[in-house]
Chains A and B, each alone.
Chain A
Amino acid sequence: MLHYAQEQLQGDYYTRAFQAGAQEDTLILNMGPQHPSTHGVLRIILELHGEYILRAEPVLGYVHRMQEKMGEVKTYPQYLPNMGRVDYLHALAWNWAYVLAVEELLQLEVPERAEYIRVITCELNRITSHLLWWGAYLLDLGAFTPIMYGFADRERAMDLLQIITGSRLTYCYYSFGGVTADLTPQFIDGTKEFCKYLRTRLPMYKDLVTDNMILRHRVDDIGIIPVDMARRYGVTGPNLRGSGVEHDLRRNTPYSIYDRFDFEIPAYEECDALARYLVRMDEMEESLSIIEQAIDSLPEGPVTPPKMPKVIKPPKGEAYGAVEGARGVIGIHVISDGTATPYRIKLRSPSFSNLSLFAEVSEGILLADAVSILGSLDLVIPEIDR
């Protein structure tokens, strides 16, 4: 017979605190930190009555790396590689938010060609992020085939990004004032081909999955996020556009050269998991359209500013770099004290705010629907924990 110490039976700090408020005849269940549907190490403590969730509490911090402290002990360029590791799925958007903030502090002008390259690569990265979400979400819901299709197509885009960035996942490609390497003809031809190819695949995805009745039953009318709730929790990105709000920083506060392109902001009014699903599927098409327009009008010229200071020492002040990532508004608040090291760096990650509403949205729903809601929020755990 196994013997446990009394402490072990009581669980850890969070379980003990959670158990204190439990009702009679309910079951306390730990979902995670090693659960397939939490995509990493997210843990959710649930109080269940039968199959219904009475109370849920996400427990964070399993991959916490104190990125903000790292920012205070490294110089500005030394901190650049960290940005690829905050959100491994849309790393270039984090790259961009950071260089945007530092460029604002330094008053740096970015050459036009570099802006176009940033748009092309960031949108390509957004497509890879959405493709992985698509496959993984359907895997959570019990469909195995889509993740194979999603990964195969994502692989093509990642091969393209590898040509110019040199890495496959944790990109560190943007530099202050530009990008580290120019596009190659191989990349441009390959990207044009990829856009054509993916346009033939997306209708197939729709026939195969989106119109599938089994999927519809799992996502239709599940996880309603009203606009008011989204506002109180700071939900952004496709999750917000699934609640009918056409808020997209690429349109609302056009940074870089996004005002030059013609693209739609997909939004659906239903506020449920299906709406969030459809927003992302539509967004891939819009990203393809932006990439094609950018490649067609790609100007010649340098990709780095003509004069760069040897040591990056921004003047005293602050800057907030905000870009639209695949999961929502990425914000990096940099406070500079005039030295080569940032005084304070605050990372605003969209998944952090998007997950914080889970406790409210999961009250009284079925446990199986909780998996559907978590997947529809498109969480990246390292981004939440930072």
Chain B
Amino acid sequence: MKQSWVDELNAAGAPKCTEVQKGVACFCLEPENLLPSVRKILDLEYYLQDVSAADFQEGYLLTYHFAHFEEPGQAVFRVLISHEEPQIPSISSMYEGAIWHEQECNDFYGIVFTDHPDLKPLLLVPEENLYPLRKDTQSQKSFLDIFPGCKLVEAPPAPEGEESSGDQETAGEETPKKKGTGKAKARKGDDETAQEPGQA
């Protein structure tokens, strides 16, 4: 991905979380920044490869893969949403191809995509809510443990603003890590208490 494009996405509220390697740039987004960032990536003429979810201790991680017809590499958007309120805006108004991908995520995890035109079961039987890819609390792993470069959803917006305005990559990289791990511990406690009534 071109550096100028990375800067444009940063300005649209998508802070970069990993270095651009082999043309792959990864961005960690707040849910409210998803739609502006997707609008930006559509303007940059990227096409949608897939939308997928994964179940972690901190919540559901949604991963959006985009690639370009001429440029090599990928742009990856990551959004973390909580287990208690698995809701995220649908990007299908811009990328119609996401309609089925989002229905599939709803089938597998029960994630609700708001403003989706028709969020009905796609691959699984319509009569039951199976959510086969949800993990129980024992087998859930920590998202930050596997992706140490990424921040959490609840990170305060103030440092993020500094990060996107100051283009110092090293400084930008270090602060979210520290903030992220601190947040992870706090969130873990929240999760345990919140999930017990759900399981009973």
Which A residues fall within an 8 A CB radius of B?
13-14, 17, 60-61, 64, 66, 68-69, 72, 227, 230-236, 240, 245, 247, 252-253, 316-318, 320, 322, 329, 331, 333, 335-337, 343-344, 346, 348, 352-353, 356-357, 360, 385-386
Binding-face segment, B5-13, B123-131, B175-183: B123-131
B122 touches A356 (CB 8 A): no
- Closest CB-CB distance, A355 to chain B, in whole Å? 8
Closest to A316 in B: B146
Q: A147 vs B192: C-alpha distance in the bound complex, in angstroms?
A: 60
A61 touches B122 (CB 8 A): yes
B123 touches A64 (CB 8 A): yes
- Closest CB-CB distance, A100 to chain B, in whole Å? 12
Write 28 A-B pairs (CB below 8 A) sorted by A numbering: A13-B120, A13-B127, A17-B120, A61-B121, A61-B122, A64-B123, A64-B124, A68-B108, A69-B133, A231-B45, A232-B94, A234-B47, A234-B48, A236-B47, A240-B69, A245-B69, A247-B70, A252-B69, A252-B70, A253-B72, A316-B145, A329-B67, A337-B141, A344-B52, A348-B50, A353-B49, A356-B99, A360-B96
Which B44-76 residues sit within 8 Å CB-CB of chain A? 45-50, 52, 54-55, 63, 65, 67, 69-74
A331 touches B72 (CB 8 A): no
- Closest CB-CB distance, A385 to chain B, in whole Å? 6
Closest to B146 in A: A316
Closest to B148 in A: A316
Number of chain B residues whose Cβ lies closer than 8 Å to a Cβ of chain A? 43
Which B residues touch A344, using CB under 8 A? 52, 54-55, 133
Which A residues touch B120, using CB under 8 A? 13, 17
Interface string of B20-31 (1 = CB under 8 A from A): 001110000000
Query: Given A68-B133, A252-B72, A320–B97 Cβ distance below 8 Å?
Result: no
- Closest CB-CB distance, A49 to chain B, in whole Å? 22
